[in-house]
Structure 1
Amino acid sequence: MSAEASSSGISKKSKKSKSKAVEAVVEGETQEVEKNKRHRKDKPWDTDDIDHWSIPTFTAPNTDEHRPFLEESSFALLFPKYREPYLRSIWSSITSELDKQGLACELDLVQGQMTVKTTRKTWDPYVVLKGRDLLKLLARGVNAPQAIKILQDGIACDVIKIGGLVRNKERFVKRRQRLVGPNGSTLKAIELLTECYVLVQGNTVSAMGTYKGLKEVRRIIIDCMNNVHPIYRIKELMIRRELAKDPKLQGESWDRFLPQFQKKHLSTSEKTAKKNAVLDRQSVIDSTINPNSIPVTSTSTSTTSATAAPPAVVKRTPFPTASKKKAYTPFPPAQQPSKLDLQLASGEYFLKPREKEAMEKRKKAEKQNETSIKRREEREEAFIAPAEKREESVEERRKKRKRATAEELM
């Protein structure tokens, strides 16, 4: 027992000593150091003037130091037929821009595809992905001068597919038009606030800019396809831009300044209650107004009373009358005759197929004749001359005057 107790006591002491902070001797004084900071050492090269968030520029190495890649990387993308004339006209400029980055490209008009691949001069392993994005933007309708900017380090792209987000085609076209807005005003506001280039083309939306801006653009577009108007997100971005200018709000939450847009669907009972409240309020207003009352005006002189304007008549809105309830009957309504019953009653069911076809043709011809006659009459109405009124002669006017004078004397 004593041995076990002694061993357990040693183990407990060792655990306590590990959990405690380690003591370090600094200039003859004991100082407690935390366990996770025991092996930290001073870094004299890490000074405060160094910006750890800056991205160093990646330049091409010297020809003596450059070594080609072991494998060739390539990407091939298809393009629509209507982009072929434009791509043929600008392909020389695309080739020269990619050659500066050490990339090669091909335009295959037979198969309708574009290819970008690395060469022995390529020094940046990531630039082939930039070349792939360049071809993707060209295929989606972006102009060449704008698409070439994707080769820069601080610019990225995002092709958002919106074709499958809305099932109804008419609804999809209407919501896609919301992104553009009247005369492109909504699209211009999105570009100014997010600092991105946005192009709405067919079933996709192409965007170019910073990663932060692309995130906002994707959020606006997806919300618009889900029936949230872009003006709500635009207003929120405008408020965020103004709040970022205030240095006092850098470390605070901006939730109290941002608008809260809640989309609420009322149930049938809530809609009925809301409608009844409006009707009750209208009935109270109508009960306080007497339509037969005449406002009293001062009639000091006869001229004022004669020239006074008539009193304004207050129009009373008719109170909606409750619909009459139908008398309750425990018996169900009579069953309507089916199509087969109607054919049996008319004898059409027993006709042969040839006879049925002949009868349908005869009905169709009769209907066509009626329609043609009706249209012919409508066209001929324009050619019917109106009734002409003949002027009365002198004798007719004299007789008419004599007849009128004789009636007055009688």
Structure 2
Amino acid sequence: MAEVEELEHEEQNIEKRVRQKGKHDKPKPWDDDPNIDRWTIEKFDPAWNPTGMLETSSFSTLFPQYREKYLQESWPRVESALKEYGVACKLNLVEGSMTVSTTRKTRDPYIIVKARDLIKLLSRSVPAPQAIKILEDEMQCDIIKIGSLVRNKQRFVKRRQRLVGPNSSTLKALEILTNCYILVQGSTVAAMGPFKGLKQLRRIVEDCVQNKMHPVYHIKTLMMKKELEKDPALANESWDRFLPTFRKKNVKQKKPKSKEKKPYTPFPPPQPPSKIDMQLESGEYFMSDKKKSEKKWLEKQEKQTEKSTENKRKRDASFLPPEEPMNNNSKANNSEDGKNDITELTQSLKSKTKELKKQKKTHERVNAEEYIAGPSSIDKPAKEKSKKNRD
């Protein structure tokens, strides 16, 4: 009986082992504890690692020359921030590099990775006060490389500007909705924030640069999600019915209508003749290979002669003198000048004839006696003289 009980106990143990997926996959007492929030990031306590690090770890990164002056000014601030966590840092201006390394005072093993991200952000033109925030536990960083996503440089610049928006309005909206700091610099986008926001932001940036979706549509969906989060009744439901769906529309351009409408025929258009049909019509199909080659050679010779004559004509044309343009305008001007001269002559002749006629009339009216001094002229009174003049 004892043996039978032992066998049953062993079978039960085997069944239990089979049900468990792994060696360490065992139910824990805190798995069903409702007071534990598994999404909270606990702050590191130095008491968890009192002995410190066994080996020194170090990371270094290069920075561009235009950042040298700024880094030199803000380096004391970076040093003091890293000193709190027991991390040493060094700025090498000769090589143009920044180095961070662990010391004996370092307790947090993950802080060296955070320090590496800090120097990476500083080299990518992120301001020092903002870059120092990466040392916090809730903050993470992501550097999205967008330079290789588009080949054409003009398109790349246009799409990068689309991401920034007019007066950086699109970028500000994305920063508010994703709770991330965004910096578009050159061919990279440096972002700082929580994991959820960084994941959303990477998708938005890649869709914008690859021309899949405009950032404004992503902003609309994020705004709706933010409103839906406020309703506790929709916490465990799907939001697909509330979110808008944006599809790419290919607008078909209308073809210009032809003026002459062809008459409708139920029969299909005739089949175009094939190469063999054309050879049968010309009789080339029945020719021998020798004759075919001769025909090809003759056609080639004709083309060559046509080409040579055309080239000769072009060469000879350069030696011919250019044709002088006909001065039609000068002839017209001459004719107009001649007409003007004739009119002037006629007017001058008319004026001269009028003057001559006037002179003749005056000669007829003149009396010689008036100009001769005599007794008659003295004795006559002044009234009679005036009467004669009137006559």
1:114 is paired with a residue whose SS is: strand
Distance 2:154 2:28 in 1: 67
Whether 1:61 and 2:8 are equivalent positions in the alignment is: no
Alpha-carbon separation, structure 2, partners of 1:114 and 1:337: 75
In structure 2, distance between residues paired with 1:96 and 1:337: 88
Q: Runs of 5+ in structure 1 lacking a partner?
A: 1-13, 23-33, 280-318, 349-358, 360-410
Match of 1:321 among 251, 256, 259: 259
1:340 is displaced (CA, Å) by 8.8
Separation of aligned partners in 2, 1:340 and 1:213: 73
Aligned residue for 1:241? Answer: 226
Please give the secondary structure, in 2, of the residue aligned with 1:61: helix
Q: State the Cα distance separating 1:247 from its structure 2 match.
A: 1.4
2:187 aligns with 203
- Distance in 2, Cα, partners of 1:234 & 1:44: 39
Shift, 1:50, TM fit: 3.7
Q: Please list the CA deviations of residues 103-149 of structure 1 after superposition, one character each: whole Å capped at 9, or x if unmatched.
A: 01111111111111111111111100000100011111110000000
Q: 1:128 to 1:265 in 2, by over 3 A?
A: same
Aligned partner of 2:171 among 184, 187, 193: 187
One of 61, 65, 74 as aligned partner of 2:58: 74
Q: TM-score, normalised on structure 2? A: 0.60
Structure 1's 342 and 210: CA in aligned 2 closer, same or farther, altered over 3 A?
farther
- SS of the aligned residue for 2:47 comes to coil
**How far does residue 61 in structure 1 lie from its aligned partner after superposition?**
3.0
2:35 pairs, out of 37, 49, 72, with: 49
Q: Which runs of 4+ in 1 moved over 4 A?
A: 39-47, 328-331, 335-345
Bigger shift: residues 99-108 or 335-344: 335-344
> How far 1:78 sits from its partner (Å)?
0.6
Change (3 A) 1:35 1:168: closer
Determine which structure has the larger helix proportion and give its number.
Answer: 2
Which residue number in structure 1 is paired with residue 79 of structure 2?
95
CA distance in 1, matches of 2:306, 2:207: 48
Q: 1:145-197, CA deviations, whole angstroms, 9 ceiling, x for partnerless residues?
A: 00000000000000100011111111100000011111110000000000100
Q: Residues 99 and 41 (structure 1 numbering): CA distance in 2 closer, same or farther, change over 3 Å?
A: closer
Q: Distance in 2 between matches of 1:183 and 1:35?
A: 60
User: In 2, distance between residues paired with 1:184 and 1:247?
Assistant: 34
Written as runs of structure 1 = structure 2, the 5 A alignment for 1:139-288 is: 139-227=123-211, 228-265=213-250, 271=252, 275=254
**Which amino acid is the alignment partner of residue 99 of structure 1?**
K
What is the alpha-carbon distance in structure 1 between the residues aligned to residue 244 and residue 87 of structure 2?
48
1:286-308 deviation digits (Å, cap 9, x = unpaired): xxxxxxxxxxxxxxxxxxxxxxx
Partner Cα separation in structure 2 for residue 340 and residue 108 of structure 1 = 72
1:268-295 deviation line (CA, Å, top 9, x unaligned): xxx3xx626xx8xxxxxxxxxxxxxxxx
User: Matched residues in 2 for 1:347 and 1:139: separation?
Assistant: 65
Deviation at 1:337, TM superposition (A): 11
Q: 1:257, CA displacement in angstroms?
A: 1.0
Q: Pairwise CA RMSD of aligned residues?
A: 4.0
5+ residue gaps, structure 2, are: 1-7, 263-271, 283-302, 319-391
Kept after mapping to 1: 8 A contact 2:41/2:137: no
TM-score, normalised with respect to structure 1: 0.57
Instruction: Name the SS of the counterpart of 1:252 in structure 2.
Output: coil
Cα deviation for residue 42 of structure 1 reads 9.2
For residue 95 of structure 1, what is the amino acid of its counterpart? E
| Secondary structure class of the residue paired with 2:106 | coil
Please identify the structure whose Cα radius of gyration is greater.
Answer: 2
Note if contact 2:183-2:190 (Cα within 8 Å) is conserved in structure 1: yes
